[in-house]
Structure 1
Amino acid sequence: MAALAEPTTRDRRRWAQYLVDERAEAEVYRQLASRREGEEREILLALAEAEGRHEAHWLVLLDGEPARLPRPDTRTVMLGWLAKRFGSIFVLALAQNAEARSPYDDEPFATSAMAADEKVHHEVVRGLAARGRRRLSGTFRAAVFGANDGLVSNLALVMGIGATGVAPQFVLFSGIAGLLAGALSMGAGEFVSVRSQRELLTATEPSDFADAALPHLDLDANELALVYRTRGMPQDEALERARLVVTAAQAADLGAPYRGLVDAPSDHDVVGGAWGAATSSFLFFASGAIIPVLPWIFGLTGLAAVVTALVLVGIALLATGATVGVLSGGPPFKRALRQLAIGFGAAGLTYLLGLAFGVSLA
């Protein structure tokens, strides 16, 4: 620091901004920690402590607390508000993006350790967010796919039917029928898909079928090593593992169960529950599919109904796309535009087909 130029008033204002931002970020992590327990709570409190060290650095440069402090960054304030009220994976995903925007790489008055801390913080928060993503991946996938399928398919349906020139009542009936048929189909399909995946995982998991035989195996010549080799262990490592397991089994009380072979974690939490996925898929498809039909439900017809449906669905597509972007750690705006382009592209094609095969039933 001694080699740096004398700080200016502008430098001090920047330090004060860093100070309040670090203080606000530490509070975000404390709020998130208050809604968790165990290891995740400890990790979040450690992050808050690290932000406190950064805060102390700027306090030293400022010669103590300034009389007037700027407002924290708007994004950080919003994160604090969300963390205090929800404490969800959504907040962690936003915090991950915030940690990726560290200003310390180009800040001459920040230490190299502070810049390194911020990069590590990004990875820590990404790891915590990844845990949450894995926990809700099955149900979240069904919810997002269901909502988007409902929005796009029913918008395409009512646009195509409406373009043929049929009566508004027929467009409304078609939209409601598409909602029910699609929601039931999505729910049933998701149930079968997740249940089948869980059954497949169960079939591939290690079992305790041979545990009772472990104490009676020959310590030097036994096939237990082959079991571990089928799980990908090298021959020498598999043989050593087999000897350890058999030795422990022979030394154990024969009346007590010894689960010597079951040592692989289950992936069921990643897949999710079949009923949860099916219910989410049904409800979210229905909630998405009802939006394109709303203008006809409330009595709009013709161009007014079409334009209103497009506006409502466009807003919903942008929202779901941005949500996926935030939770996946990607750029929300880009994901939102992608969802909008896909949805309107499908609706535009069916509308053109409806015009091509248009009839008038009035």
Structure 2
Amino acid sequence: MQPPHPDEPGDPAPSLARNPADLRRWRRHLADERAEAATYRDLARRRTGEEREILLALADAEKRHEQHWLDLLGDDVGRPLPGDLRTRMLGLLARRFGGVFVLALAQRAEARSTYDREEFATARMAADEQIHEEVVRGLATRGRNRMSGMFRAAVFGANDGLVSNLALVLGIGASGVSSQTVLLTGVAGLLAGALSMGAGEFVSVRSQRELLEASDPDPKSAQALPHLDVDANELALVYRARGMDQDAAQARADGVLARLAVTEGLTSGSLDHEESPADDRETHGTAWGAAVSSFCFFASGAIIPVLPYLFGLTGAQAIAVAAGLVGVSLLITGAVTGLLSGTSPLTRALRQLAIGFGAAAITYLLGLAFGTTLA
């Protein structure tokens, strides 16, 4: 039986069959709606402007859904229940942090809505939940875009350190050399890899910035504008070279020269530098900052396979502990990547684990083969 929408007149509660299972389910929906509304309000407190207004609007929508279940329950509303564990954890994170990580979790929470299968939820409520997922996805995407460069560097650097140094340690350890040799090899691999990552990132960022700077218009070229042949108007060629079609380039050049005539020789910015494609670019940060970050991210991952040897473990025990620590780290980084990208954290975690252990297993088998050959 489909109840009337709560916005419609009349109390729907007396006309419904009220068995205990329905009452329990309605109370659970009521608790979840209250918890989700509180989460959005907590997130809104950490934001300003449009994002704050959007989150408060989502909280108001959850409040309307809450009222629907209150109307159905009537006098049977009973003692307030807490939301489910995932919703409560989301609320706790929203109160303590409130960043893109929490928005990604909220996006997944909205995707789990069961209102499309709940006979006592209205079609409007089910549609609301689907739209809420898209709204939260949009807010989370803003945060993902802001952190995409740093997050990519962190995940890539840490996982590179984890996998490459685990493969190195397992390969050398399987060959039968002493634990001290494995430790020295692991430390050397950490330093070599981190320095290589840092140097590569420095060169990459510095080269990219130099290429972008080479694309910037020369400010001195504006000094030539008062002396251009207005009839020939070669300034249009500049805009055509930047990608405009012939008519648009000619119109832009005519406008620049017309403004120049009005300002009587004031040429600052006359080449429309602010509209140059070279300025419509991502901020890449400093080369030294990128190098230091890459060094630290790689080293943070590469140190983990070495830890058992630093604490005195040897042989198969050290190899097992190193593999276990790296496995847990790969699962965590994969799950975090999945959450932030809006996909299944379990799938991403298992994929990360499979790739890392696959590479390590190959080097371990090669180490066994070389160890047997040398013996």
TM-score by length of 1: 0.85
Give 2:359's aligned amino acid: A
Q: For residue 352 of structure 1, what is the aligned residue in structure 2?
A: 365
Deviates more, 1:226-235 or 1:59-68: 226-235
Which residue number in structure 1 is paired with residue 26 of structure 2? 15
Q: Distance in 2 between matches of 1:50 and 1:212?
A: 59
- Distance (whole Å) between structure 2 residues aligned to residue 235 and residue 87 of structure 1: 49
| Alpha-carbon displacement from aligned partner over 1:108-153 (angstroms, at most 9, x marks no partner) | 3333332222222212211221121121111111111111111111
Distance 2:66 2:231 in 1: 61
Whole-angstrom distance in 2 between the partners of 1:94 and 1:114? 21
Which residue number in structure 1 is paired with residue 203 of structure 2? 192
Structure 1 residues 1-362: aligned runs within 5 Å: 1-2=3-4, 6-9=16-19, 10-63=21-74, 66-204=77-215, 260-263=272-275, 266-269=280-283, 271-358=284-371
Larger radius of gyration: 2
- AA partner of residue 68 (structure 2): H
| CA contact 1:295–1:309 (8 Å) conserved in 2 | yes
Deviation at 1:295, TM superposition (A): 1.1
| Closer, same or farther: CA 167–224 of 1 in aligned 2, 3 Å | same
Q: Deviations over 1:178-229 (max 9, x none)?
A: 1111111111212222333344445556787777788999999966666666
> Which consecutive unaligned segments of at least 5 residues does structure 1 have?
none
Q: Percent same amino acid at aligned positions?
A: 65
* Number of equivalences: 361
In structure 2, what is the Cα distance between the partners aligned to 1:211 and 1:64? Answer: 78
- Cα RMSD, aligned residues only: 3.3
Structure 2: distance between partners of 1:102 and 1:318: 26
**Aligned letter for 1:317?**
L
Contact 2:170–2:360 under 8 Å retained in 1? yes
Structure 1 partner of 2:9 = none
More relative contact order, 1 or 2 (CA 8 Å, 6+ apart): 1
Q: Distance in 2 between matches of 1:360 and 1:169?
A: 21
Name the CA shift for 1:61/1:236 in 2 (closer, same or farther; >3 Å). farther
Alignment check: 8 A CA contact 1:138 1:277 kept: no
Letter in 2 for 1:262: E
Contact 1:323–1:332 at 8 Å: present in 2 too?
yes
Between 22-31 and 75-84, the greater mean CA deviation after superposition: 22-31
Q: Which residue of 1 aligns with 2:8?
A: none
User: How far apart, in 2, do the equivalents of 1:216 and 1:53 lie?
Assistant: 68
Distance 2:140 2:228 in 1: 45
The TM-score with structure 2 as length reference comes to 0.83
Return 5+ residue gaps in structure 2 as ranges. 6-11
Q: Supply the distance in 2 between the matched residues of 1:169 and 1:49 (Cα, whole angstroms).
A: 63
